[in-house]
Structure 1
């Protein structure tokens, strides 16, 4: 016997991209560039939504991903990175749709270029009387940007489409996935010691404005996109920050911590070299210190005197 909850899941509109479990967010591939374009080359012929309403829904969908990553995703009139089409049943060489209900959309992972929606569905803006184009487009564009399905049930990238309020925010699981793909270590550029440029918006500001509770100026810094953490270094101290789904940095509770090895006081450079275990090297002159960062803090280990890189 199938219970009511399971039956409702089976009957719910869902994405046509194949599931790969278990895990929370999963990544498939990514675009080498962060400036992408999209265009609707075939509008819905059955929806009551006008072409402008369809374009607006797609634009709002892609902006949800761009707002929490280093991506720029703009509409174009020319050859796009991502081609949006409303299709029925069999179309080109792609997986066929199945009429109203069932599969509502599918998209290719990078470097594929298509995002398709089933034109037998009743596309609307909102949650009553049909399928909300913005929400489902946001899901399909998640695939087009490189995300697989997540087994986090509240995630936008869960395989079954869900109902969200108009002002919904991406689930932290969605944000973690897209930032794993599209947050560069160069997104935060420190200049003149006391200022930092936030590469997500190009704004220059005081270090403490972006990193509350941090130093007034910085001698070395490194950002870990795998753990969504930033580490700042000044003289004999180090500050660790986490970045939230809203893009804001928060100081880790036990920061700042003392750099115990005097050879790398006022480090010239910080280099991340082991993503799995979150290891950082501090460099100064010919001194290289293995700076192991841990969830509850960080500590120094052995000092190695080797030929240091000429540039950091």
Structure 2
């Protein structure tokens, strides 16, 4: 029985308008192995059982109903590997711990030819990589991800740049000859998928914004480490904070591999030769990856001598009172003078101490000549380079959202504006509180897309918004977008073009 779409819509509305999954819920359950693909309609009992299994793996209350939390979880970016059989395989692993015996009856994993490699020395190859990351950065992330697993098991990995290799990693867009169900869907949705031993491949969606450390976008190291787990024969895990959860973990303070991850790989490949697993905290790896990326940015630029952010990846952008544009990426920033000269990258925290390692939004306000930075659930405010007293402040205290897409001062309102998803928020900078009657729908800004990663207002009063490699110019008088294009190519004041400036600059 296919669930009525009216019921699904009603559930979404009653759950405070949570984001609906990209797929119809039943299609989602079929895609990820909870319901079998066939031409027959599923009855209510089958659908309810599938929902319960999904909720179990996602660590949600097991209700068997498509409630708001379940629909929202379905909409989160995740691994494209099927969850089929995860519950039975997990039960088997736990049974081995307590009884030392393997369960005799369990559902076979479809399309899985082998559960483990027959050897412990494996080679890997990086076939290609995203244009906005250097090969050196990608190699480091991949090497570190493989090392994570060898630290806790009897496996040894070696890169084979020219192949052949046991495990191959590649980036693709859309349909890439893996079958329609494995076609990549662009930003969000499925980020990557992998195949178990024998085929030994991991594929990543080229259209995603991949990053090396924990700033905006998807952490390439964490996603790679997860997909490597699949190439070794590991299924999705129901354990909270497990690396092998179908919904990718953040690189935080905790240990990257949970006890469940270690148990799973050791049951297949044994313990490391020294019998003492090396477990690394997330903040140690994050610092190492960020230091490497900073070194890469300082030593390498584009072939044309342009700053690396011109390849289309930055976290925030703003402009100060002198007309200098500042572009932020990870723990670094660049300055582009009003005349077009670029300086940087420079360490973010050398200029603004007390900031986190990376930010999600930044804005300079001409109203009070202060700098505002946002990351997670906090906001920092600086006078020049000095952090103001009583900062950082919790965003919730100000009525602002966590993890904003972008922030900017907007003169027609006389306040700071923050975009987050399908809504925008207005912050009164004098009172440091949200203006009444907000948040409102982003549709008020005609033509502006969701998910912009930066915004600033030029001296002519027009607002520029950025998302990946595109920009939108918003006219506050006409109250709509009047132009769009590729910012690195079309906007010389971003520091990505050596075209002489003229009276016709955008």
Aligning the two structures, in what range does the TM-score lie when normalised by the shorter sequence?
0.5 to 0.7
Matches within 5 A, 1:177-188: 177-183=264-270
| Secondary structure of the structure 2 residue equivalent to 1:36 | strand
Check whether the contact 1:38–1:73 (CA below 8 A) recurs between aligned residues.
yes
Matches within 5 A, 1:72-221: 72-77=156-161, 78-94=163-179, 95-165=182-252, 168-183=255-270, 200-201=273-274
Residue 58 of structure 1 corresponds to 142
- 25 and 82 in structure 1: CA distance in 2 versus 1, 3 angstrom threshold: farther
Matches within 5 A, 1:216-295: none
2:75 to 3, 7, 11: 11
Check whether the contact 1:176–1:245 (CA below 8 A) recurs between aligned residues.
no
Check whether the contact 2:153–2:277 (CA below 8 A) recurs between aligned residues.
no
- 164 and 179 in structure 1: CA distance in 2 versus 1, 3 angstrom threshold: same
The CA deviation at 1:167 is: 7.2
- 137 and 50 in structure 1: CA distance in 2 versus 1, 3 angstrom threshold: same
Task: Give the Cα–Cα distance (whole angstroms) in 2 for the partners of residues 137 and 180 of structure 1.
Answer: 21
Residue 34 of structure 1 corresponds to 120
Task: Give the Cα–Cα distance (whole angstroms) in 2 for the partners of residues 53 and 26 of structure 1.
Answer: 38
Task: Give the Cα–Cα distance (whole angstroms) in 2 for the partners of residues 152 and 142 of structure 1.
Answer: 15
Question: Greater relative contact order: 1 or 2 (C-alpha under 8 angstroms, separation 6 or more)?
Answer: 1
The CA deviation at 1:245 is: 8.3
Structure with bigger gyration radius: 2
Check whether the contact 2:186–2:205 (CA below 8 A) recurs between aligned residues.
yes
Output one character per residue of 1:59-85: Cα deviation in whole Å (capped at 9) or x when no partner: 111111110000001111221111110
Task: Give the Cα–Cα distance (whole angstroms) in 1 for the partners of residues 156 and 265 of structure 2.
Answer: 13
Structure number having the greater helix percentage: 2
- 168 and 118 in structure 1: CA distance in 2 versus 1, 3 angstrom threshold: same
- 151 and 167 in structure 1: CA distance in 2 versus 1, 3 angstrom threshold: closer
| Secondary structure of the structure 1 residue equivalent to 2:87 | coil
The CA deviation at 1:41 is: 1.1
The CA deviation at 1:7 is: 4.4
The CA deviation at 1:125 is: 1.4
Check whether the contact 2:153–2:265 (CA below 8 A) recurs between aligned residues.
yes
Structure number having the greater strand percentage: 1
Output one character per residue of 1:199-221: Cα deviation in whole Å (capped at 9) or x when no partner: 615xxxxxxxx8xxxxxxxxxxx
The CA deviation at 1:111 is: 1.2
Aligned-residue RMSD, C-alpha: 2.6
Task: Give the Cα–Cα distance (whole angstroms) in 1 for the partners of residues 176 and 72 of structure 2.
Answer: 28
Is there any run of 5+ residues in structure 2 with no aligned partner, and where? 1-10, 16-67, 94-113, 280-506
Task: Give the Cα–Cα distance (whole angstroms) in 2 for the partners of residues 147 and 170 of structure 1.
Answer: 13
Give me the TM-score of the superposition, normalised by structure 2. 0.35
Check whether the contact 1:136–1:161 (CA below 8 A) recurs between aligned residues.
yes
Task: Give the Cα–Cα distance (whole angstroms) in 1 for the partners of residues 196 and 210 of structure 2.
Answer: 23
Task: Give the Cα–Cα distance (whole angstroms) in 2 for the partners of residues 25 and 54 of structure 1.
Answer: 35
| Secondary structure of the structure 1 residue equivalent to 2:165 | coil
Give me the TM-score of the superposition, normalised by structure 1. 0.56
